[in-house]
Amino acid sequence: MSTKDFIEKDYYKVLGVPKDATEAEIKKAYRKLAREFHPDANKGNARAEERFKEISEANDVLGDPKKRKEYDEARALFGNGGFRPGPGAGGGSFNFDLGDLFGGNAQSGGGFGGGGGLGDVFGGLFNRGGTGTTRTQPRRGQDVDTEVTLSFTEAIEGATVPLRMSSQAPCKACSGTGDKNGTPRVCPTCVGTGQVARGSGGGFSLTDPCPDCKGRGLIAEHPCLECKGSGRAKSSRTMQVRIPAGVTDGQRIRLRGKGAPGERGGPAGDLYVVVHVGEHPVFGRKGDNLTVTVPVTFAEAALGGEVRVPTLGGPAVTLKLPPGTPNGRTMRARGKGAVRSDGTRGDLLVTVEVSVPKDLSGKARDALEAYREATAGEDPRAELFEAAKGA
Ligand SMILES: [Zn+2]
Ligand SMILES: [Zn+2]
């Protein structure tokens, strides 16, 4: 769970209780919903499963008075929706210290890939107490967009693919400080908050990113040569990413927390992957179903018969063709299609196509000549002409 979720998700709504619900009311609401959506009572129902997860998550937070308090405070501070680190909470004097400032980075192992759980963020915000103390706020990493091309089969079955991505990360040469010596100055304009007031009116103030430090809260006296004082560097990394089964061409999937790393212990951004799916020489796809066209002889279509049909990645299946099957008839091989999100499979839609031989050998030609004679009295177009006259 990212910090962003924590702030954006309305756990009260999930449990259907008012903001001022008592502990007992929350417990009661949770029990009722958990019973209703429990996976044991909803076998194979992906929606119920998802709902059950949400309910559990909401209860984890609201059911714990300490977490609930932090949650309420976080939402009050950041507002519902947009995660925008605001200016320091206090208004008066600022105590500032560099050790504090980089503590976040050091904890998350050099600043790379620090998932920055709740502890990082809220520990810093709330548990240090002391009103009037402000710290540079954690910043969520950027969302990253990328693309991947899967083969037809990989898209059906799901695949783990290497994705090479470049994103902004803290500069390694200066540990993200932007200063050659690693000792930047706290920006005097914004006193390290990275924000400046835009003038106030009506009792509240609006803020802008600080123009002197570009919102970083720090100024490098001796700019780092690698990053020219920005503290940021392009980092490229290769990640193994699991693409779930059943993706379709052009689909955009979101991989939470796989985007650019956060700053100062902030959570990582999300990774968005646009999936391109290659074609298959034999199989096509319609949602959860696969399609295949199977040639049959005129005799098989007219007299009926058993037809072997290939499946994707499995053994062939045998379809019974009833006598008098028309050209273009589509039949269904159940469970031989694409994988759905709940693990079951769609069907294979088999379309029959009567194939006309280019050359006929002596015996086959004789038989067909005999067939023509036998059906000489029949006009297959009689109905067509009759219908053309009407209306
Ligand atoms: Zn500044
Ligand atoms: Zn640097």
Residue 134 banded pLDDT, cuts 50, 70, 90: very low
At residue 23, does pLDDT exceed 80?
A: yes
pLDDT in tens, 152-192: 999 988 899 988 777 667 788 888 778 888 778 888 888 88
Considering every ligand atom, which ligand is closest to the CA of 196? 1
Query: If you write DSSP's letter for every residue of 75-108 in order, what string do you get?
Result: HHHH-SS-----S-S--S--B--HHHHHHHHHHT
The ligand minimizing its distance to the Cα of 87 is: 1
171 is known to lie in a ligand binding site: yes
Q: What is the architecture of the domain spanning 136-169+233-279? A: Sandwich (2.60)
CA distance 70 to 279: 51
Taking Cα atoms as reference points, which of 74, 177, 58 lies closest to residue 123?
74
CA 202–ligand 1 middle distance (angstroms) = 25
- As annotated, the residues of the chain forming the CATH 2.60.260.20 domain(s) are 136-169+233-279, 284-374
Average pLDDT over residues 211-231: 83
Q: What is the pLDDT of residues 296-353, one digit of tens each?
A: 999 999 999 999 999 998 899 999 999 999 999 999 999 999 888 788 899 999 999 9
Q: Is the pLDDT at 118 greater than 80, yes or no?
A: no
Q: How far is the CA of 209 from the centre of ligand 1 (A)?
A: 8
Phi, psi of 172 (to 5 degrees): -75, -35
% of the chain with per-residue pLDDT over 70: 80
Question: In the CATH hierarchy, which fold is given to the domain comprising 284-374?
Answer: HSP40/DNAj peptide-binding domain (2.60.260)
3-87+96-126 is a CATH 1.10.287.110 domain: yes
- At residue 201, the pLDDT reads 54
Question: Distance, CA 125 to ligand 1 centroid (Å)?
Answer: 20
Closest CA to 67 of 17, 18, 23, 15: 23
**Mean pLDDT over all residues of the chain?**
78
Q: Which two structure tokens, joined as six digits, stand for 210? A: 């600080």
Predicted TM-score (pTM) above 0.85? no
Q: Which helix (H) or strand (E) holds 285?
A: strand 284-286
The 10s digit of each residue's pLDDT in 56-71 is 888 888 888 888 887 8
The stretches of the chain forming alpha helices (DSSP H) are 3-8, 11-15, 23-37, 46-62, 65-78, 98-107, 118-126, 152-157, 298-303, 362-374, 382-389
- One-letter amino acid for residue 308 of the chain: R
Per-residue pLDDT at 132 exceeds 60: no
Confirm whether residue 187 is marked as ligand binding: yes
Query: Closest Cα to residue 71, out of 84, 85, 58, 82?
Result: 58
Q: Where in the chain is the domain with CATH 1.10.287.110?
A: 3-87+96-126
Cβ count near 287 (within 10 Å): 11
Say yes or no to pLDDT of 117 above 70. Answer: no
103 CB contacts (<8 Å, ≥6 apart)?
none
